[in-house]
Amino acid sequence: MKDFDVIVIGAGITGAGVFRDLALHGVSCLLLDKGDFTASTSQSSSKMLHGGIRYLENFDFELVQEALHEKNLWLKLLPHLAKEVPFVLPNYKESKYPLFMLKIGLLAYDFLSGFQNSPHKILGKNETIKQRPLLSTKNLRGSGLYYDALMDDAKITLEVIYDALKEQNAFAMNYHEVTNVVEEGSKHIVQTKNLIKNTEDTFIAKKIIYCLGPYTDKFLKNTYPNNWTPQLLPSKGSHIWVSKEDFNLSDPCVINHKDGRVIFFIPHETQILIGTTEEPLNEEINDIKISQKEITYLLSIIKEYYPKVNIKQHQIESAYSGVRPLIKSNLTNDQGKTARTHRTYQISNSVQAIAGGKYTTFRVMAQESVGIVCEQLGVSYSKSKTIKKLRQKSCVIPFERKQIDSSTIKQILSNEMPKTLEDLVHRRIGVNSLSQWKSIYPENDFNNFFLENIELINQYFPLKKEEIINYFKD
Ligand SMILES: Cc1cc2nc3c(=O)[nH]c(=O)nc-3n(C[C@H](O)[C@H](O)[C@H](O)COP(=O)(O)OP(=O)(O)OC[C@H]3O[C@@H](n4cnc5c(N)ncnc54)[C@H](O)[C@@H]3O)c2cc1C
């Protein structure tokens, strides 16, 4: 099928959310991405569903309230991919706000959640040390303990897409780069390049919705030079993963550093996630990686707040960077203060773009846009259609890890559309480094495991032995 009511371009969480909303309303739709689904910003977040406690400082109450609602909704709908955890926010003599202000902030946070958050507590110095024994005690006054959720960002996007694909009217293709979109009468001709097979294709749609995240300005300025002025203030953020064997942190902490940055320390399956930095973007989005400056900064923060933990650069198991697609604000150029609200742009009667926002709010971000399209197509729209459980669980669920074997690989290959070894290892199995692989699957030598399964994999996509052997070397 090549003719659709709507083509959604960009399969990060924003595009996935729009695609699912359309599919559940019976609209025929196609989702296209130039890479693997979720392989850009939507696998590079801090992996939290959260209201964003720091946005309270900017009085973004509406955004915080909306995000808290969504967080608590997804905790119920997706318990295998999102978990509520207690964050400790330590308060030091040099902190920007005194402890009583923290209390007011956390009270507001719980209030804005409609008291759906597990309730916060204020901890004195001794209780803070008891709860987080590795934290620096120098000038410590106490802390606030509040609840947010950690999540698997790549898996949620994938499961949102799998859910939409349960509808007969919905189709999705990864590795299909959109090279041009031309309006002809009441139709849009979407030209694509299949980056795996190196072939070209054409699809037709009545409506287009762009969900290009940080790629929005570049693509839309090229495609609609007269109708698009750049909207984004792209901001780079990087994280590092450190083994729990080197950093024995059992519960999350969040540091409000005196330089204005908020740094999270979050224990996941076998590793601690530490980030993020916030830097202007000086490189091509496709090529971003953590800089030495960012590594040095994150290591210095560990040293300052966890003086008993001695992490050196060679102990970083892996790192990743993403670009926040923030919407420019007239009020500030400070990326940290730029609001995380999203915007929907009507480029023409049949073309929309959504940009900005947060991962946490993807469901509500889709509503405005899909509501307009449904009205134009004469389909009745209901916001509550998307409040239901997703229908296809991932074959491998990192929060409920089991051993894997050939039958797991077969299930992934036949149900989850991986097209490269990285899709399979990084996003479907959810492993980011060889050391992580070894600690999760000690019985399966990485090279042997994939070499033994190469024939099976080759039934679905081409894979050479050298790619397996070099996978973690690149
Ligand atoms: C460091 C960092 C930490 C964050 N932490 C959090 C957090 O903890 N919680 C939270 O709620 N939010 C967080 N965010 C924000 C959140 O991750 C983003 O708002 C969200 O992932 C953006 O999703 P998106 O779908 O709009 O963009 P993307 O995920 O970037 O998707 C855009 C897609 O468009 C595709 N594309 C581009 N050009 C083309 C083309 N020509 N043809 C086809 N496809 C194309 C790309 O390949 C890409 O997959 C964080 C962001 C960053 C950078």
- What would the pLDDT profile of 320-352 be if each residue is shown by its tens digit? 999 999 998 765 666 555 567 899 999 999 999
Q: For the domain 3-42+154-232+337-386, what is the CATH code?
A: 3.50.50.60
Q: Is the pLDDT of residue 2 over 80?
A: yes
Supply the pLDDT for residue 410: 98
Superfamily (CATH) of domain 87-150+236-324: D-Amino Acid Oxidase, subunit A, domain 2 (3.30.9.10)
Let me know: does 47 contact 151? Beta carbons within 8 Å: yes
Ligand 1 contacts CB of residue 25 (under 6 A):
no
* pTM exceeds 0.95, yes or no: yes
For the chain, the residue count is 474
Distance 71 CA to ligand 1 centre (A): 18
Distance 238 CA to ligand 1 centre (A): 14
* 88/344 Cα distance (integer angstroms): 35
Ligand 1 contacts CB of residue 217 (under 6 A):
no
Task: Provide the pairing of β-strand 235-243 with 271-275.
Answer: antiparallel
Distance 68 CA to ligand 1 centre (A): 20
Which residue among 30, 38, 40 has the greatest number of ligand 1 atoms within 8 angstroms of its CB, and so is best to mutate? 40
The residue among 60 and 164 whose pLDDT is bigger is 164
Looking from the CA of residue 39, the nearest atom of ligand 1 is: 49
Distance 65 CA to ligand 1 centre (A): 22
Supply the pLDDT for residue 140: 97
Distance 327 CA to ligand 1 centre (A): 13
Q: Is the pLDDT of residue 266 over 60?
A: yes
Supply the pLDDT for residue 60: 87
Atom 44, ligand 1: which residue's CA is nearest?
A: 33
| Residue from 112, 161, 108, 95 nearest 362 by CA | 161
Ligand 1 contacts CB of residue 214 (under 6 A):
yes
Supply the pLDDT for residue 197: 95
Supply the pLDDT for residue 258: 87
Looking from the CA of residue 321, the nearest atom of ligand 1 is: 1
Supply the pLDDT for residue 169: 97
Percent of the chain with pLDDT over 70: 97
Atom 46, ligand 1: which residue's CA is nearest?
A: 10
Q: Is the pLDDT of residue 107 over 60?
A: yes
Looking from the CA of residue 15, the nearest atom of ligand 1 is: 25
Supply the pLDDT for residue 341: 84
Supply the pLDDT for residue 357: 93
Residue 467, phi-psi category: left (phi > 0), alpha (psi -120 to 50), beta (remainder)? alpha
Distance 357 CA to ligand 1 centre (A): 10
Q: What is the 3-state secondary structure (H, E, C) of the chain?
A: CCEEEEEEECCCHHHHHHHHHHHHCCCCEEEECCCCCCCCHHHCCCCEECCCHHHHHHCCHHHHHHHHHHHHHHHHHCCCCEEEEEEEEEEECCCCCCHHHHHHHHHHHHHHCCCCCCCCEEEEHHHHHHHCCCCCCCCEEEEEEEEEEEECHHHHHHHHHHHHHCCCCEEEECCEEEEEEEEECCEEEEEEEECCCCEEEEEEEEEEEECCHHHHHHHHHHHCCCCCCCCECCEEEEEEEEECCCCCCCCCEEEECCCCCEEEEEECCCEEEEECCCEECCCCHHHCCCCHHHHHHHHHHHHHHCCCCCCCHHHEEEEEEEEECCECCCCCCCCCCCCCCEEEEEEECCEEEEEECCCCCHHHHHHHHHHHHHHHHCCCCCHHHHCCCCCCCCCCCHHHCCCCCHHHHHHHHHHCCCCCHHHHHHHHHCCCCHHHHHHHCCCCCHHHHHHHCHHHHHCCCCCCHHHHHHCCCC
CATH 3.50.50.60 domain range(s) in the chain:
3-42+154-232+337-386
Looking from the CA of residue 13, the nearest atom of ligand 1 is: 25
Supply the pLDDT for residue 336: 57
Q: Is the pLDDT of residue 1 over 90?
A: no
Ligand 1 contacts CB of residue 321 (under 6 A):
no
Atom 41, ligand 1: which residue's CA is nearest?
A: 178
Which of 53-67, 148-162, 253-267 bottoms out in mean pLDDT, i.e. has the lowest? Answer: 53-67
User: What mean pLDDT is predicted for residues 412-426?
Assistant: 98
Distance 106 CA to ligand 1 centre (A): 28
Q: What is the mean pLDDT of the chain?
A: 95
CATH 3.30.9.10 domain range(s) in the chain:
87-150+236-324
